Structure 1
Amino acid sequence: MSSINDQATVIVGAGPAGLTAALVLARYRHRVVVVDSPRAPRNDASQGVHGHIGLDGVPPAEIRARAWRELSRYPTVQLREADVDAVRAADEGGFRVELDGGEAVEAATVVLATGVVDVHPTHVEGFAECWGRTVIHCPFCHGEENAGRRWATVSDSADLAALSAVAFRPWSHDTIAICDASTPGVDEARTAARSRGGDVVAGTVRRLHHRQGSLYAVELADGQVLERETLVWTPPQRQQPLVTRAVDELKLTVDDGGFLSVDEARCTNVPGLYAAGDVSARWKQSFTASAAAGATAADAIHAAAVLGAVHG
């Protein structure tokens, strides 16, 4: 009969999903290897995590450092800073996780918790400087810190523009939406928004005027300048290159947006390969949702290991 402790899990990514999965598995006394890239994480632009009890306002880097210290106390956990080049099925079962530099780690199970890549509009001057401060992707995440300001939101859908032109009233009493003039239904959206006290402006954002990341105006391609202090802009997202390669090589199932498809246990269509956090969720990307997904994956891994040990 095999021991549960013989079943190593490699967790790729040390965001809220990966770190929570590692902690839960450590509490189950599983062998865990957490591999995280030494490069700046996606949430590096955030000034603080919000909406998670006990951590509200704490910078992501501090949370990661705390978690790293907590995990280092568990003898079954290894923490590695490295880029993962590939996750492949091993000939003898399980997986082979290949790190940069040629090293490889064998694992019975793998959790992909890499997060995703925000595709920023590189043609918009000032976007990068304002990102995470006064250009925000989520009112829940950063709305409180921008409350009382003049808001605009960028939308590629007329229906969403009409809604978002008034939906952010809990944070601002002066809200508009910006939608490309060629978008079908933009005139009807403007009429609907104005009837509710908002507005839809037809145009394409060209430049953000700011002072050290503090937005004060949005300039459109036609030269129109809108005095706005907060811009809600949710950019498109793509998978990390590692995940894209894994999709091709392991034939992972993805949804229409390219996000990994998982079951209730956060398992992909490949047995033993789990995905948690933003990598498998387009619209549930909060710290809390990602942490919950990581815990769910860890519980499922433990349950599978127990069954395997009993019947092995």
Structure 2
Amino acid sequence: MNPFAHYDTVIVGGGPAGLTAALALTRYRHRTLVVESPAPPRNHASRGVHGMIGLEGATPAEVRARAWAELDAYGLAEHRAAAAEDVTLAADGGFHLTFDDGSAAWGRTVLLATGVVDIHPVDVDGFAACWGRTVIHCPFCVGWENAGRTWGVVADNPAYAATAAGAFSAWSADVIAIAPPGMERAAETRQALRAAGSDLVEGEIVRLHHRAGDLHTVELADGTLLARQTLLWSPPQQQVPLVTRLTTTLGLALNEDGFLTVGADRQTNVPGLYAAGDLTTQWEQGAMNAAGAGAAAADAIHFARTL
């Protein structure tokens, strides 16, 4: 393999956004490189993808395998199992990319589809075992699989805590909010939740009691035990190291919440550098949204080339 091979587009990330973009660009007859770290992907704990027509219940590994079988049939997309370490502007246009396997590549355009990093609590015993199964971050992704169970919504602000009263009733008739001690307007929020048949419990979660990832009890720092079978817990997120580095070296712009800003064409503030998927949005994450963003980015990349 020529480590300095030239590509029409280099895609960093092989999840729904990156692979959808690769398929669309391939059908536009673009020579494309998809760079994906061999480390377990962010969604490796998922037991199945939901909401994607024709792929209902398929595991992330199955989705990737099927996607590459389709891409390989065209012969224009290349897969490289490596982590992208840097993206720099090339003197003659386009971008130079370097990878942790010692190779490099040039791309006329680059699409960042890296996703983000979930910052899991390191001091909550049992969190890792339950994550992606009975500790969930997206009710629309796996709410069905947790239907009919007792739920707890982990919240750190009163507006979100108040949603426990009704927002998740499609999946559970017994939902409470669990907030850190001292949350503002806690008494007011508790009163409103109780009036709606819910409740607010304040306390620091220290342990999740489970059976092979099947949650049954939440333990708080003061010893309180809450019988809960599912937790809706959206941990903080941060950009992957590459994207963080590029905010300094290339001046990539982030919004006030730390997500990449892109235009309607999915292009960042750096011409020729695009982004699609979870790294651009906090509230529209998920496989379907990411795939749609990847397709939109591919369209924009192709039509920008024709102008």
Whichever residue aligns with residue 9 of structure 2, its letter is T
After superposition, residues 57-206 of structure 1 pair within 5 angstroms as 57-206=57-206
Distance in 1, matches of 2:189 and 2:96, equals 52
Q: Which residue of 1 aligns with 2:33?
A: 33
Distance in 2, matches of 1:81 and 1:69, equals 16
Q: CA deviation digits over 1:14-45, x for unaligned, max 9?
A: 00000000000000001101111111000000
Name structure 1 gaps, 5 residues minimum: 1-5, 308-312
After superposition, residues 218-229 of structure 1 pair within 5 angstroms as 218-229=218-229
Q: CA deviation digits over 1:284-304, x for unaligned, max 9?
A: 111111000000000011101
Distance in 2, matches of 1:174 and 1:16, equals 33
Aligned pair count? 302
Distance in 2, matches of 1:60 and 1:165, equals 32
Q: CA deviation at 1:81?
A: 0.8
Whichever residue aligns with residue 126 of structure 1, its letter is G
Whichever residue aligns with residue 32 of structure 2, its letter is V
Distance in 2, matches of 1:159 and 1:24, equals 40
Q: CA deviation digits over 1:241-269, x for unaligned, max 9?
A: 01111111100110011110000010000
SS in 2 for 1:206: strand
Distance in 2, matches of 1:258 and 1:160, equals 20
Note if contact 1:209-1:215 (Cα within 8 Å) is conserved in structure 2: yes
Q: After alignment, is 206-215 or 71-80 more displaced?
A: 71-80
SS in 2 for 1:297: helix
Q: Which residue of 1 aligns with 2:20?
A: 20
Q: Which residue of 1 aligns with 2:10?
A: 10
Note if contact 1:10-1:35 (Cα within 8 Å) is conserved in structure 2: yes
Whichever residue aligns with residue 202 of structure 2, its letter is A
Q: CA deviation at 1:75?
A: 2.2
Note if contact 2:49-2:141 (Cα within 8 Å) is conserved in structure 1: yes
Q: After alignment, is 163-172 or 18-27 more displaced?
A: 163-172
Q: CA deviation at 1:70?
A: 0.9
SS in 2 for 1:167: coil
SS in 2 for 1:215: strand
Going from structure 1 to structure 2, the CA distance change for 1:70 and 1:58 (only over 3 Å counts) comes to: same
Note if contact 1:165-1:200 (Cα within 8 Å) is conserved in structure 2: no
Whichever residue aligns with residue 25 of structure 2, its letter is L
Q: CA deviation at 1:148?
A: 0.3
Distance in 2, matches of 1:176 and 1:234, equals 15
Whichever residue aligns with residue 48 of structure 1, its letter is G
SS in 2 for 1:8: strand
Note if contact 1:12-1:112 (Cα within 8 Å) is conserved in structure 2: yes
Q: CA deviation at 1:164?
A: 2.1
TM-score (norm: length of structure 2): 0.97
Whichever residue aligns with residue 144 of structure 1, its letter is W
Q: CA deviation digits over 1:264-286, x for unaligned, max 9?
A: 01000001000000111111111
After superposition, residues 229-308 of structure 1 pair within 5 angstroms as 229-307=229-307
Note if contact 1:152-1:165 (Cα within 8 Å) is conserved in structure 2: no
Name structure 2 gaps, 5 residues minimum: 1-5
Q: Which residue of 1 aligns with 2:3?
A: none
SS in 2 for 1:132: coil
Q: CA deviation at 1:162?
A: 1.6
RMSD of aligned Cα (Å): 1.0
Q: After alignment, is 17-26 or 77-86 more displaced?
A: 77-86
Whichever residue aligns with residue 80 of structure 1, its letter is R
Q: CA deviation at 1:180?
A: 1.5
Residue identity over aligned pairs, in percent, reads 57
Q: CA deviation at 1:7?
A: 6.1
TM-score (norm: length of structure 1): 0.95
Note if contact 2:22-2:34 (Cα within 8 Å) is conserved in structure 1: yes
Q: CA deviation at 1:69?
A: 1.1
Note if contact 2:209-2:219 (Cα within 8 Å) is conserved in structure 1: yes
Distance in 2, matches of 1:102 and 1:129, equals 35
After superposition, residues 210-221 of structure 1 pair within 5 angstroms as 210-221=210-221
Distance in 2, matches of 1:86 and 1:33, equals 15
Note if contact 1:151-1:174 (Cα within 8 Å) is conserved in structure 2: yes
After superposing on structure 2, the runs of 4+ consecutive aligned residues of structure 1 that deviate more than 6 Å are none
Distance in 1, matches of 2:13 and 2:28, equals 20
Note if contact 1:166-1:193 (Cα within 8 Å) is conserved in structure 2: no
